Structure 1
């Protein structure tokens, strides 16, 4: 394998050349290209081949006939979804929960990465990083059990309220608190892991910028504000664009394990709705139509936000 790094190889492979030169480059970087094969196979098997099932949204699925032999029904199930009042309830819940998670959760990894970078002592910094990453590797089944216990009538929060002569609150069955609990626990689970990419971007900032600012008398907060944060803008822009692609993904694992019948009106989202009508009620065509609608909206949001960021900040802040 060549001593030239992967970024150099990528640029060289993309450089225009004749067929002979292009073949020579592929042979030269064959080891790097072979490393891409598992990723491509994974994408084809689990991302592209399942796309065939999307045609169920336009068919009346018959189990005995299979997808290919099921009759076409056109936009029947899309019309059914748009005329179903409960569909708009789950759509509203999905948008509200996702917007809250984006509004309150998106800045947290950025602020955490900036503050963590300013911590003195490499050992203490690594300890804080490790602690913040741990919740990401815990299943929502386990985390949900922990949070349900914490917010239960006999949990520590209600015990504290009782000690303050306050009536206990059934947090997990109260519509006024449930969404806030969802957002807060989601941030707790993801902010440490989400800060990794920002820490990597901070590590790439030229230290001479900070040295010059220190000579000019700038303190930590001024350097964070005028050097670190502006240098993170391209990464923040790209992460915001990617986040918009999951704006209709309010977190199935979390909500499915935490919601109950008492909070269904504020917690039922598109994913849980699709799960019930598709896997439980076996209405595969209708659930596929709702899922396809979600994917199309997500694609439109990604393209729209990418266009807005490109208009405001230029091509260097966008995906394409």
Structure 2
């Protein structure tokens, strides 16, 4: 900028133009901490809990690179490098278990993610408050029932001797004789998915109902004035209004594709369906911990954790590009 232009803008030739002083980010941060000190103090116990039970145990991953023997100290353990991982990737059983894990995870992701959203949206459309609250309460109560009890309910429901499902199918003339659902390996994934839906749909819908209540009611009033029915309001107001919640939960669900636990599979499994019911966590328990192969079991768990982190980062990156929303 020349002298003439500076003079026209109220700056003389003898004055220097200096940029704005940099903001003091550090002081601003500590000022924010002091202003919200009680919130930080409230969250401190949970941060400590996560650090102790989630981060401190990570040192145990070193066992995956050792031939760990409980009687020896850490310094006396024999280091074997990647031998446990080589054995893992050369085991045909591992790939069978990985297939089962991914199949049940994908079924759970598709149905266990979509059904609660639909249930929450439809529940929101109910006008009677008493009936609405009753349905919501009844729907999330199974969440508090342990999988031990749920397993017994599923076995009794699908039993060939007085099971309600077989009796109903015979009464409707769909089948001529009872089906042994729990003895057919190829049916295990479907049985597990339905049981999980019954147990968790109501509970998973709560967060979507909470997100729906945060939508501005004036949007619905304006839509009614414009002649939009309930279906159009649902697709143009309700679902877009909870899009952020859906995106965050979808990213987190993708991150747990290989780390689905083993409680429900363990309770519903039997010797006739093992080839379709065994998942990675059961594989680590059976072929690692139970036979004292602690290093091998650690390698399996380490593989699960690393893949979960990679899936989480990939899902977050894709969603950030597609929807401009992310959790990190």
Indicate which of 170, 178, 181 corresponds to 2:180.
Answer: 170
Indicate which of 155, 158, 163 corresponds to 2:166.
Answer: 158
Q: Are the aligned partners of 1:59 and 1:74 in contact in 2 as well (CA < 8 Å)?
A: yes
**What is the 5 A alignment of 1:266-281?**
266-281=276-291
CA deviations 1:168-226 (Å, max 9, x no partner) are 11111101321100011111111111111111111111111111100011111110011
Give the distance between the partners of 2:123 and 2:240, measured in 1 at CA. 17
Who is 1:211 aligned against? 221
Give the distance between the partners of 2:258 and 2:269, measured in 1 at CA. 18
Question: Which runs of no fewer than 5 residues in structure 2 stay unpaired?
Answer: 1-22
Q: Are the aligned partners of 2:255 and 2:315 in contact in 1 as well (CA < 8 Å)?
A: no
Give the distance between the partners of 1:24 and 1:265, measured in 2 at CA. 58
Structure 1 residues 26 and 232: alpha-carbon distance in aligned structure 2, compared to 1, 3 A threshold: closer
Which secondary structure state, in structure 2, belongs to the residue aligned with residue 195 of structure 1? helix
Query: Once the 2 structures are TM-superposed, how far is the Cα of residue 55 of structure 1 from its aligned partner?
Result: 1.0
Indicate which of 279, 292, 296 corresponds to 1:286.
Answer: 296
Who is 2:258 aligned against? 248
Which has the larger share of helix?
1
Give the distance between the partners of 1:185 and 1:251, measured in 2 at CA. 15
Query: Once the 2 structures are TM-superposed, how far is the Cα of residue 33 of structure 1 from its aligned partner?
Result: 1.5
Who is 1:44 aligned against? 51
Query: Once the 2 structures are TM-superposed, how far is the Cα of residue 161 of structure 1 from its aligned partner?
Result: 4.2
Who is 1:230 aligned against? 240
Who is 1:129 aligned against? 136
Who is 2:7 aligned against? none
Indicate which of 134, 141, 146 corresponds to 2:148.
Answer: 141
Larger radius of gyration: 2
Query: Once the 2 structures are TM-superposed, how far is the Cα of residue 244 of structure 1 from its aligned partner?
Result: 0.7
Give the distance between the partners of 2:303 and 2:252, measured in 1 at CA. 18
Question: Which runs of no fewer than 5 residues in structure 1 stay unpaired?
Answer: 1-14
Who is 1:106 aligned against? 113
Give the distance between the partners of 2:317 and 2:26, measured in 1 at CA. 34
Which secondary structure state, in structure 1, belongs to the residue aligned with residue 272 of structure 2? helix
Who is 1:10 aligned against? none
Give the distance between the partners of 1:110 and 1:66, measured in 2 at CA. 51
**What is the 5 A alignment of 1:30-69?**
30-69=37-76
Give the distance between the partners of 1:25 and 1:319, measured in 2 at CA. 22
| C-alpha RMSD of the superposition | 1.7
Give the distance between the partners of 1:203 and 1:62, measured in 2 at CA. 55
Give the distance between the partners of 1:27 and 1:279, measured in 2 at CA. 47
Structure 1 residues 68 and 184: alpha-carbon distance in aligned structure 2, compared to 1, 3 A threshold: farther
Q: Does residue 120 of structure 1 match 2:130?
A: no
Who is 1:81 aligned against? 88
Taking structure 1 as the reference length, the TM-score comes to 0.90
